[in-house]
Structure 1
């Protein structure tokens, strides 16, 4: 049976993998991204919504609202929000608090927290009414306060801990309106993308996954979600991780 799927952040490595996964299964896919649709993916089953950006590369909340309003006309039952930032040419993960800067923390929170928050806010009215809707917000295990035994990566850890709280709090409110909805944050595992590229040498053999393999695993988690899991942080295999 064909489903309507919405992938937000579809131009990212994992987002693109999810688009390809659901298209291959014959589903209808709505995609939202700052980048244009890859030519090889263009087909009737895919509606790719490209967001206009400011000179600084940011996306205005009004553009998010407009894109979401168009995407939900087809009533997606599965929604992935795939935003994440760890480093760029000017900023690497902090190994010590002494390396922390306001610019890096602001960028981390802008992408890792505020962008998912904008989308959840834009989607909220729809989510309160759509039966059995499932929303998965990509996060990271390093955002777990309980699991943190190594320290470091201050901005990224703080941003992902914040998005986990965003999902937890939104899940509580959403549950008051729609008992059939499920909203979770999700650790995708270490995936072969630009985000993880500088750190792949430290990944144990067999643990680095292709974007396609990660998409397969996350889609399997989505298929098995139940409202009892709403607000939780899940691992790539569907097990519950500690906050």
Structure 2
């Protein structure tokens, strides 16, 4: 049973739903977020990290690890914003937007994983789930498009794979995976919800329940995998 959970990137959407799910289940929940959304979210230890510097983020992570989490979710990610929607063709590719997507989807998770490395290397049976996307699977890509998001999520998957190998040399009990949460009714998916098959769109609470089941079923044999929302392995 999960006793202590750290959720990074939980001011809204799936991250916040995960924090609420575990808090309702009686677990110790610590949240790291750029925005302080502790109001109305009782039962959580809320740490604000505006990502001012690596040194400041290191102090925030050090504080969070005082709760000795056995399960860690990394939920940072952007598909679209007021600057740009996903590209339908490479002719729409803007390298500045690509850099922005890499910052949120890869660099921020990489920073936190770097800071967590000493803990992950020694904490028995620790589980890390980085929220990725099925469209980041190279082997599953049959449609193309969405260049910046696909590229950055594929890079996140490689980051997770690399880290799982390095941590695995030091901690044979660790499980570090990336996971596709499924289509969830959040701001990220709202522009793309039309014509979805019935039952595909999930509430954030339902997605949190599914991801919690995936987390509960993790073990060291699965480390490095890209998992679907139901726990099955997706192709790289």
TM-score range relative to shorter protein: over 0.9
In the alignment, the residues of structure 2 paired with residue 160 and residue 2 of structure 1 have an alpha-carbon distance, to the nearest angstrom, of 27
Alignment check: 8 A CA contact 1:21 1:216 kept: yes
Residue aligned with 1:6, SS = strand
User: Residue 90 and residue 52 in structure 1: after superposition, are their counterparts in 2 closer, same or farther (change >3 A)?
Assistant: closer
Alignment check: 8 A CA contact 2:101 2:148 kept: yes
In the alignment, the residues of structure 2 paired with residue 12 and residue 169 of structure 1 have an alpha-carbon distance, to the nearest angstrom, of 28
1:85 aligns with 2:78: yes
Residue 126 of structure 2: aligned partner: 133
How far residue 52 of structure 1 moved from its aligned partner, in angstroms, is 3.0
Residue 29 of structure 1: aligned partner: 29
In the alignment, the residues of structure 2 paired with residue 226 and residue 52 of structure 1 have an alpha-carbon distance, to the nearest angstrom, of 32
Alignment check: 8 A CA contact 1:12 1:82 kept: no
> Normalising by structure 1, what TM-score?
0.95
Alignment check: 8 A CA contact 1:2 1:26 kept: no
In the alignment, the residues of structure 2 paired with residue 202 and residue 124 of structure 1 have an alpha-carbon distance, to the nearest angstrom, of 42
Residue 49 of structure 1: aligned partner: 47
Residue 56 of structure 1: aligned partner: none
Alignment check: 8 A CA contact 2:76 2:105 kept: yes
Residue 65 of structure 1: aligned partner: 58
> Normalising by structure 2, what TM-score?
0.97
In the alignment, the residues of structure 1 paired with residue 95 and residue 2 of structure 2 have an alpha-carbon distance, to the nearest angstrom, of 46
- CA deviation profile, 1:157-190 (whole Å, cap 9, x unmatched): 0000000000001100000000000000000000
Residue aligned with 1:137, SS = strand
The correspondence of residues 57-206 of structure 1 with structure 2, limited to 5 A, is 59-206=52-199
Residue 15 of structure 1: aligned partner: 15
In the alignment, the residues of structure 2 paired with residue 112 and residue 204 of structure 1 have an alpha-carbon distance, to the nearest angstrom, of 27
Residue 230 of structure 1: aligned partner: 223
Alignment check: 8 A CA contact 2:183 2:200 kept: yes
Alignment check: 8 A CA contact 1:32 1:48 kept: yes
Give the gaps of 5 or more residues in structure 2: none
How far residue 51 of structure 1 moved from its aligned partner, in angstroms, is 1.6
Q: What is the CA RMSD across the aligned residues, in angstroms?
A: 1.1
In the alignment, the residues of structure 1 paired with residue 73 and residue 55 of structure 2 have an alpha-carbon distance, to the nearest angstrom, of 20
Alignment check: 8 A CA contact 2:7 2:72 kept: yes
Alignment check: 8 A CA contact 1:183 1:230 kept: yes
In the alignment, the residues of structure 1 paired with residue 83 and residue 144 of structure 2 have an alpha-carbon distance, to the nearest angstrom, of 21
How far residue 2 of structure 1 moved from its aligned partner, in angstroms, is 6.4
